């Protein structure tokens, strides 16, 4: 989320150890969820309410009649453990071809408009395949990015650095160890707050690289996955309609 934003553990052994310690997924109306700790303002373990996505999911799940247990863990691990059956669902995630094949997606939680951010002296306000060839993008471990950039990474035309979080990416860009990172406006605002730097520290691409959204996702192999998504979507609509009426 996180683009927020193709996840699998770096090694099999650590994941296997985690799965061995994991309790079975709850059945019925008691679900186990997992999210990542470092994707403000949507998922932030340091915030009392956990971030905007966490607060919304809690509200929606209560409206849907579910009791939940929520764990926080690194994105790759949480995604893989959910896929393996240790959790019923995870969030917030942007779609990708791989994720669509593995998970049921809810209706969108939040819309995103993704931009590239670089140092002003780079002058990289236009991001096209011909302008980023040979450059280095910083994308946190477990995060996804625009399809066009993923294609360039796979083709070897765009190098990729993968630190643990976006704060580290921003520092790498400032130090010249990466050329740019990608974020939506909400996440960028939270990043500036974390770093304690003004908005003009980085130059934003003139046009967004992509438009996407964040979702609540349930593995397709989950025996009640389609039912959980249907109940979630119905409750999400009700919560939004209620919020609209109260304005």
The CATH number of the domain where 199 resides is what? Answer: 3.40.190.10
The answer to whether residue 1 is domain-embedded is no
d(CA 76, CA 228): 22
Three-state DSSP at 72 gives: strand
The answer to whether residue 106 is domain-embedded is yes
11 CB-near residues (< 8 Å, 6+ apart)? none
Q: What is the pLDDT of residue 1?
A: 54
Give the other-Cβ count within 10 Å of 30's Cβ.
12
Which residues constitute the domain of residue 219? 12-110+212-245
d(CA 67, CA 33): 10
CA distances from 233 to 118, 132, 170 (A): 37, 39, 35
Averaged pLDDT, groups of 10, the chain, 247 residues long: 39 38 58 93 92 97 97 94 97 91 97 91 75 90 81 91 94 95 90 89 88 94 96 97 87
Q: What is the pLDDT of residue 126?
A: 78
Residues 130 and 71 in one domain: no
The answer to whether residue 93 is domain-embedded is yes
Considering its fold, how many domains does the chain have in total? 2
The answer to whether residue 229 is domain-embedded is yes
The answer to whether residue 42 is domain-embedded is yes
Q: What is the pLDDT of residue 25?
A: 54
């Amino acid at each position: 989320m996180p683009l927020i934003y193709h996840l699998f553990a770096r090694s099999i052994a650590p994941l296997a150890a985690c799965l061995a310690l994991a309790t079975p997924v709850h059945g019925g109306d008691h679900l186990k969820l997992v999210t990542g700790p470092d994707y403000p303002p949507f998922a932030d373990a340091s915030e009392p309410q956990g971030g905007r996505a966490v607060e919304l999911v809690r509200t929606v799940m209560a409206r849907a009649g579910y009791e939940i247990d929520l764990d926080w863990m690194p994105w790759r691990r949480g995604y893989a453990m959910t896929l393996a059956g240790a959790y019923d669902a995870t969030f917030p995630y942007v779609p990708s071809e791989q994720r669509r094949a593995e998970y049921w997606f809810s209706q969108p939680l939040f819309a995103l408009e993704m931009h590239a951010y670089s140092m002003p002296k780079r002058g990289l306000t236009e991001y096209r395949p011909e302008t980023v060839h040979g450059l280095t993008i910083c994308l946190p471990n477990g995060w996804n990015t625009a399809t066009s950039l993923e294609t360039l990474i796979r083709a070897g035309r765009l190098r990729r650095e993968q630190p643990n979080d976006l704060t580290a990416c921003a520092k790498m860009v400032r130090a010249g160890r990466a050329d740019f990172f990608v974020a939506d406006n909400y996440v960028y605002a939270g990043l500036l707050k974390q770093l304690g730097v003004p908005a003009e520290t980085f130059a934003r691409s003139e046009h967004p690289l992509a438009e996407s959204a964040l979702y609540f996702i349930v593995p397709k192999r989950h025996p009640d996955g389609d039912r959980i998504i249907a109940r979630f979507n119905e409750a999400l609509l009700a919560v939004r309609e209620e919020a609209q009426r109260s304005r």
